[in-house]
Structures are given as C-alpha cells and as structure tokens.
Amino acid sequence: MGAVLGSNNKIRIYVGEGDLQNNVVQTSYITQHASEFVVTMDQDGYARGELIDVYILSEDGVVVGVYSNGKTLPTYRVALAQFTDPEELVNKGSNLYTSVKTPTILLPGGGNKIRSGMVEMSNVDIAEEFINLITAQRTYQANARTITVANIVLEDTINLVR
C-alpha cells in the first residue's frame, strides 16, 4: 500500500505494485507541520452536540435536526407513498393502515407537499365520540332529575312544618 502525488495536487492511494485505486485525497485538506510535535491546535468546527429537536423545514419534506451546540443540520427527507386504490388499505387501528400492494414512492416537492403540524383527515372515531356524547347527556339528565326530586322532598318537608 502506498500513495503517489499525482497531477492537480491530488494524492492517489494504491494497494499493490502499480495498482492505482480511485481513492483520491485533495492535498489542500492536508496540513504538514515542520516539527515532531504539534504545539498548538485551533478548533475550526463545532463542539460535540446531542440531538434535542427535529422539525420539517419546508414543503419538500426535509427534516432538520437541532443540536445542543446550536448547530442545525438537515438529517433526512420524508417520502410520500401513493396508493392506486385507497379502498385496498387495511385499517390496523390507531390511524395505522397497511396495504397488500406496493405503493408508488414520491419525493415531496412540486405538487406533492408536506406541511408540518397539519392533519389531512380526522383522527377521531365518530362512533366512540357519539357514544360519549349520549352517555354525558344521560348523566346530565339523571343529575337534573336527582336535583328535581331533592327539591320536591325539601318542599314537602317545609310544608309539614307549617
């Protein structure tokens, strides 16, 4: 294994005799010090940081990571899945669906947009909420009837004293 300084100040790395690889290192990134030890070092980057938050940057689906050192970097891009027939989706519960067919994967942008914080369709189970509404209404009616009966008993008690 060795290295050869080629044209355009590029270093070519080779494994065996005359076997040049395509691994090219730009020499402008390499620093050579004229001593056996490095006496001083300058930091030219960011300090170590931990991921503390993520958000979607724009409608093209780029997800940005926010780090504890103040740096924000795009981490990945969300893809969209398009199904030929939405009726083929099988409901697994909790707004999760699966399909037996492979969807078409699209990259956001143009007509396909991703909007952070938006809900495309309702995530409420109408039947469950209707049952809760009827239960609350019946509970209110029962409590109102209890108050009415207590009022009648109190009136009868007051009339007995007179």
Tokens at 99, concatenated? 């399909």
Q: Are strands 20-26 and 51-56 parallel, antiparallel or unpaired?
A: unpaired
What pLDDT does residue 141 have? Answer: 95
Q: Is residue 93 included in any domain, yes or no?
A: no
Residue 67 lies in a domain: no
Give domain status of residue 30, yes or no: yes
SS (H, E, C) 93-107: ECCEEECCCCCEEEC
Residue among 48, 47, 50 at smallest CA distance from 66: 50
What is residue 12's predicted lDDT score, i.e. its pLDDT? 54
Confidence bin at 134 (pLDDT 50/70/90)? very high
Residue 36, in any domain of the structure: yes
The whole domain housing 157 covers: 124-162
Amino acid 31: pLDDT: 59
How many domains, the chain? 2
Q: Which of these three, 10, 27, 42, is where a domain ends?
A: 42
Determine, yes or no, domain membership for 156. Answer: yes
Q: Which of 24-28, 30-34, 57-61, 91-95 has the highest mean pLDDT?
A: 91-95
151 in a domain, yes or no? yes
pLDDT band with cut points at 50, 70 and 90 for residue 133: very high
- Mean pLDDT for the chain overall: 76
21 has a pLDDT exceeding 80: no
pTM for this predicted structure: 0.39
Write the DSSP assignment of 21-76 as a string of letters.
EEEEEEGGG----SSSS-------SPPP--EEEEEE-STT-EEEEEETTS-EEEEE
| Per-residue pLDDT tens over the stretch 101-115 | 888 888 776 667 777
Please report whether residue 73 resides in a domain.
no
Residue 102 located in a structural domain: no
